[in-house]
Structure 1
Amino acid sequence: MTLVTETAVKALLETPTTTRVRPRYEGSNICTWIGFKHVNYLVEEAVLDHFRQAGLPARALYEEHGLGLDIVSLDSRILHAFHMDDIADAEVTPWTKDDDSTIGFKVTIQFERNGEIHKAVTSKVRVSLRIDTYLEAAGEVPAGLARFAVAVLGDDLERESAAVAPAEEEILASLTAGANAYGWKWNIPYPYCHFTERLQMSGYLRLMEEGKDRFVADRGISIKTLLDDRRWIPVVPRSDIRILDEALMEEDLYTVYTVEEVFKDFTYTSRMDFYVLRDGKLVKTATGRIVHGYAVIENRRDWSLVNFDQRVIDAISAKAPQA
């Protein structure tokens, strides 16, 4: 008997849920603070548990109906820092309009600290149900979920026309030409993928984090450099990412990190674009933005935001340092 009942779909699309979440130990890289990637993992876990509570868990959707649950859009604001061992409550509120072709949610995560309740994260999430084509067909998509099912991720969007690619050795130069940008080529390994073949949202989050790391190292202000020089750490108040098409296991992914705006001397916004070379064309598979600032480590427990100095402004603005 199908698990996709009218009651289950109604609960998925209409009934809010709350789940208890805790950041993973891996996400505590500097002192005991949790980085933006793992904060977004908490959002992902809350959405997955919403599907479970509705009676439509990701495993059963795939095994019984051949539908892969893919988070295709994630737009998150971090309002308070998470620490190692924090326990938080994540409320997932369905946010799907009648004409939507993706399943939408608003996620709010809050925790208690020193007797006060803090709203730590707000996020908007969109989910597609990818029809599995790697194995034999699982049968007709259940009617209640049919409008959210896609043959290829991004089918719900009007895609840009793929550009004819230059010679492979010229691709990165062409993608970064005339821009305050850094790019690299990377072969997609299986640990970044799911449902046997495609890069998943958590993989893109890992690449967004790596993009920052690569960019500042290229500009002479690597993470460790500023840690050692002045105990500065990067902080991310906001990030968003949207999957536009599929990137497949063992394809070469071209990633471009472009600084779009430096806001006074406090934050800067970078765009990240992801491409694969397919049939002689550059196919954009995802795009997103990430906002960065810096904080100074005051002690093992506390940090505070700081303004950029001229060295940092020059580095992120692609200006040569003053002699």
Structure 2
Amino acid sequence: MTTHAETAVKYLLGTETTVRLRPRFEGSNINTWIGFKHVNYLVEEAVLAHFRTAGLPSRELFEEHGLGLDVVDLDTRILHAFHQDDEARAVVVPTTRDEDTRFRFSVTLYVERDGKELKAVTSKAEVSLRADDYLAPLAHPEELARFTVERLGDGAGRGPRHGTDVAVADNTALAAGRGTTGADPVLDQLLAGENAFGWKWRIPYPYCHFNERLALSGYLRQVEEVVDLFLADRGISIKTLLDDRKWIPVVPRSQVTFLDEALMEEDLYTVFTVDEVFKDFTYTARTDFYVVRDGRLVQTATGRITHGYAVFENRRDWSLVGFDERVVRALNGDLPQA
């Protein structure tokens, strides 16, 4: 007799789904354009809708089977910008192979422009089902065992600093604010010799889900915030270039991969490293995330971002712009001496 889980998994692995979504108002920070974080939220929502349509929504997975649904790898390319009130047609195509232990999906977002539908976003997403151990365990359907893990992240591709012994400073007390970008022994060790910026930050509960774990959306927020802090630290803050030149940041590609778990109220060390400035038009950067456990670094996630600038011509239109010497020098860490 075919079980509900068996039918649902067959659907998840073999059926393409379509859902219509709109970006949230919160995502339009400059004029009416939607930032990369909220575009990624649309991708995540499309994946959640795919599970819902299959008959295994995230709520049921957790409440009935003790399984937390986590998007643990996301690689997104933005081809056309989203605006407020745009409606995306999101198409989710299963791409899981027989040997895979994660659900894999290709997600495409389409948007209408001047009566024509354009491919606006392409993304690859991977999903793990994390067995909850915060509450009493529940039995998991056999059909889901292949995709169920006791801990998120397989550790593949961890950086060379993972496992390094470190000394920790107690400098994220609430009385002193939630984080620091200043002198810190762990940040000093992580940043040594690199064209990088670091931020130590206490993980708050609004960035977490399933009781204690930093969620994908939390990492995306962290990427957005560390870019903001990095640019300000280099003297080209987002508002500075916005006021001086009407330049706005654009992110054509972003990627986040889980390597382990980061927990509520742990100190998260975020390191933003500039890899390459490409033809003075875009730059690529790596974002690495660490916590310290038992005096050693544990890398919990890594990611990459491609960043550029556009100049807006009016409240609706913008065009890409090349970097000038000031921006290139700042990105390369060639800062003027005080």
So what's the TM-score if we normalise by structure 2? 0.92
User: How well do the aligned residues superpose, as a CA RMSD in angstroms?
Assistant: 1.6
The DSSP-based 3-state class of the residue aligned with 2:251 is strand
Measure, in 1, the Cα distance between the counterparts of 2:150 and 2:272. Answer: 29
- Name the count of aligned residue pairs: 321
Q: Which residue of 1 aligns with 2:142?
A: 143
User: Is 1:192 paired with 2:207?
Assistant: yes
Runs of 4+ with >3 A deviation: 155-161, 166-169
The DSSP-based 3-state class of the residue aligned with 1:5 is helix
Matches within 5 A, 1:151-190: 151-155=150-154, 157=156, 162-168=163-169, 169-190=184-205
Measure, in 1, the Cα distance between the counterparts of 2:147 and 2:337. Answer: 54
Measure, in 1, the Cα distance between the counterparts of 2:333 and 2:243. Answer: 22
Q: Which residue of 2 aligns with 1:124?
A: 124
Q: Deviations over 1:186-209 (max 9, x none)?
A: 000000000001000000000010
Matches within 5 A, 1:215-294: 215-294=230-309
Measure, in 1, the Cα distance between the counterparts of 2:101 and 2:281. Answer: 38
Would you say the 8 A contact 2:234–2:335 is kept in 1? no
Q: Deviations over 1:186-242 (max 9, x none)?
A: 000000000001000000000010111000000000000000000000000000000
The DSSP-based 3-state class of the residue aligned with 1:89 is strand
Q: Which segments of 5 or more consecutive residues in structure 1 lack a partner in the other structure?
A: none
Q: Deviations over 1:69-103 (max 9, x none)?
A: 00000000000000000001000000101111111
Measure, in 2, the Cα distance between the counterparts of 1:33 and 1:261. Answer: 26
Would you say the 8 A contact 1:102–1:156 is kept in 2? no
In the TM superposition, residue 111 of structure 1 has moved relative to its aligned partner by: 1.1
Match among 315, 318, 322 for residue 307 of structure 1: 322
Match among 206, 211, 214 for residue 221 of structure 2: 206
So what's the TM-score if we normalise by structure 1? 0.96
In the TM superposition, residue 312 of structure 1 has moved relative to its aligned partner by: 0.3
Q: Which residue of 1 aligns with 2:64?
A: 64
Letter matched to residue 170 of structure 1? P
Q: Which segments of 5 or more consecutive residues in structure 2 lack a partner in the other structure?
A: 170-183
In the TM superposition, residue 258 of structure 1 has moved relative to its aligned partner by: 0.3
In the TM superposition, residue 166 of structure 1 has moved relative to its aligned partner by: 3.3
Q: Deviations over 1:124-148 (max 9, x none)?
A: 0000000000000112x21111011
Identity of aligned residues (%): 67
Measure, in 1, the Cα distance between the counterparts of 2:337 and 2:3. Answer: 65
Letter matched to residue 220 of structure 2? L
1:142–1:216: structure 2 CA closer, same or farther, 3 Å change rule? same
